[in-house]
Amino acid sequence: MNSARMIIGMSLGVILFVGVARAAEPADVEKFVNARIEIGEMMTNYFKGGESYGAGQRPSPEKMKEMGDDINQKLTALLSKHGLTLEDYRARSKDVFADEAAVKGYLAEHPDLKTRYEALPLSRMSGGGSTGRGY
């Protein structure tokens, strides 16, 4: 019985430690939420009224590369305002946005940002991320 309690206690300790370790720092939540909002708005504006490539035709590979380079350049400039690099944002955003309580708490404190965040297009730009908004 004593060893069972010890195992349960250790297991709970590990679970609690992992939960605390995953919690996003408030400063990170602020940076990443603001960046995601700006990225989503930028991408929406970038593709608004999109170029017509014919009846359902995709752009040429050259045009796709140009668009990708242009988007990455714009993302790099946008993220630098938040002290982030494109690589850092891509690597860390999933973990920051996994802390849904912190993200919801931050948005609850900033109703104007919450409105903008909720207006972002779902899943089109995220590649199936957990929130489906932005990158």
Q: pLDDT per residue over 4-46, tens digit each?
A: 555 555 555 545 444 444 567 989 999 999 999 999 999 888 8
pLDDT tens digits along 50-73: 655 555 677 889 988 998 999 999
User: Euclidean distance between the first and final Cα of the chain, in Å?
Assistant: 49
Burial (Cβ within 10 Å: 0-12, 13-18, ≥19) of residue 16: exposed
pTM for the model = 0.70
